[in-house]
Structure formats: structure tokens, C-alpha cells
Structure 1
Amino acid sequence: MATVGWRELVDLPELGLRGIPAKIDTGARTSSLHGKVLETFERDGQQFVRFAVDFPDQHVQQVCEAVHVDWRGITSSNGETQRRMIIKTPLRIGPLKFRAEISLADRSDMKFPMLIGRSSLRRRFVVDSGHSWLQTRGMDPVEGHKP
């Protein structure tokens, strides 16, 4: 079983998103991505969602499409329950790639645009909360920068 730090850079390859700063959060069940829903539509009998992911530090907005799996009530850290759209897409953490369910949420007031919840971690990773970037090639696990 691989070990992750409390923060990692992750990829969502089918969405064209690479090097997303993500906080590892064993208190959250579902992973979450900062994304603004633009529209829902049907393609080949499947429900899809088109959404925008903002990276304000780089002044970039990426428009993505993914299969819309479900709507769920997600309880946030402040105890408030929100109805969020759930997508399913491959997630890569280090060398491991697997399909993950991810809620789309407004994380603009959060430090990390993505949160990795325990459903994505289960049976794949253990968490070392004293280190960062353990699965992020080229990053110093203690200092958090390239050596």
C-alpha cells in the first residue's frame, strides 16, 4: 500500500487536468473538485455535465466534460448539507490511476482546489499527516518545494 502526505499534486487525465494541488482529508467521504457547472446534456444516452475549473493563480479556466453520475447531499466541514453533482473520472495519485467519484463544489474560498476523501484512499493509500508530496515527484516531502 502506498503512502500519501497531507497534500499531493494529482491528475484528472480524462479532464485534461494535471498537477492539481489536493488536500488529503480522511474526514471527508467523497472527493471534491472546485468546479462551476455550466450545463448538463445527454450524449449517446448518458447524462454528462460541462463545468469550468478555475486556477486563479495561473489566470486559467479549463472547461471539462464528464459523465454525471448522481446528485448527493454532501455535508461540508461547517456542518451544512449541500446538494452536489457527482462525476466519475480517472484520478491519478503518484503512479496509481483509478476511477473516483468526485463532487463538484465551489471551493474558491479554500486553499486547495481539490480534496481527496477517504473513498478514494480506501485500500490504496495510508496517510502520513506529518509529510507532504510523498507521491509527487520532484517535491521535497518536508519543505514542500522543489529541492
Structure 2
Amino acid sequence: MLIGWQERVDLPLLGVTGLKAKIDTGARTSALHATDIEAFERDGVQWVRFHTGFDDDAHDTNAEAPVHDRREITNTSGIPETRYVIRTKFRIAGRLWSIDLSLADRSGMTFRMIVGRTALRRHKIAVHPGKRNLTTNATAKRPKGKDSS
């Protein structure tokens, strides 16, 4: 499958659909914008709750997921940060699989989600660096009345 450097993706277990994501093969781990990150325990398992709101409210939601890991991840400024990592379902162009997703405050970034190379590995995907939205019409998944550009 050929995808562009920017695509619309879904995170169905988190209730997020049509999210504009940057496909970043320079990043190892995928990252999702999250604020108000709070760890808690449920039935003896560590979970995390967080808020995904950004500069618009089209994908503004509260979510919870089991913690898969805590990792040192180098941010865009080259500074290592300890982040919660969750494992969740990821969908692009109708194909669905599990990915690891670090939670980070991406308030100052253009994209709420970065899809790293590990999420794409072993799924027969090539990225066209000069094209975007090859898997879907960019306006087809935008919530009505919202501008999610």
C-alpha cells in the first residue's frame, strides 16, 4: 500500500476517527497528543487516562487505556522524556492492526499524531514523501461544521 506523508487515521479503541496524522519514518515510536495524563490502577493493572483536545475540538475526547510500557523517548528537540506508552488499535485505509503509542503534549506541534516507522513495519507500506492523503479524501472524514486542518 502506498500512503502519503500525511494521512487520516483512526484509533477506534480511543474513539478517535479521521485524525490528521503525519507519517514520520524518521521517528521510531508513534506519538499522540495527550494532556491531563493520570496513571491509576484498575483490577491490579496500571492504566492511564488522558485528554486528546488540541487547537480545535473535532477530536477532543477523554480516553483510558492500560499502560503497556514507560519509555525514554527522544522528543523533537532531541531531549529524552519518560512517556507512558499504550498499545491500541490503529486503522489506515481500512486496514487495522495494533501499535504502540506514546502519550505526549504536542500543543506546539502542527500534527496531533505522529506515526513512526515501527507502526508501519511488517505491513507492506511505502510512504510517498511528496504526496498526502493518498488513502482517503482529506475532507471526507472531517466532522461536519469543524475545520480540522
Q: TM-score, normalised by structure 2?
A: 0.86
Unaligned runs of 5+ in 1: 141-147
Q: 2: distance between equivalents of 1:59 and 1:13? A: 15
CA distance in 1 between counterparts of 2:134 and 2:22 reads 12
Q: Which residue of 2 aligns with 1:52?
A: 51
Matched, 1:134 2:101: no
Q: Which runs of 4+ in 1 moved over 6 A?
A: none
Q: Compute the displacement of 1:43 (Å).
A: 2.0
Mapped to 2, the partners of 1:130 and 1:52 lie a distance apart of 32
Whether the aligned pair in 1 keeps the contact of 2:88 and 2:100 (CA below 8 Å) is yes
Change (3 A) 1:11 1:60: closer
How far did 1:77 drift?
2.5
Partners of 2:122 and 2:58 lie apart in 1 by 36
The answer to whether the 8 Å contact 1:37/1:49 transfers is no
Matched with 1:84 is 83
CA distance in 2: counterparts of 1:19 and 1:60, whole angstroms = 9
Deviation at 1:60, TM superposition (A): 6.1
- Once the two structures are superposed, what CA deviation does each residue of 1:74-103 show, in whole Å capped at 9, x if it has no partner? 012221111111011001111111010000
RMSD in angstroms over aligned alpha carbons?
1.6
The answer to which structure has the higher strand fraction is 1
The letter for the 2-side match of 1:128 is H
SS, match of residue 83 in structure 1: strand
Normalising by structure 1, report the TM-score: 0.87
Q: Distance in 2 between matches of 1:3 and 1:121?
A: 11
Q: Which residue of 2 aligns with 1:145?
A: none
Cα distance in 1, alignment partners of residues 54 and 35 from structure 2 = 12
For structure 2, which runs of at least 5 residues remain unmatched after alignment?
140-149
Q: CA deviation at 1:58?
A: 3.0
Task: State the distance in 2 between where 1:139 and 1:20 align.
Answer: 10
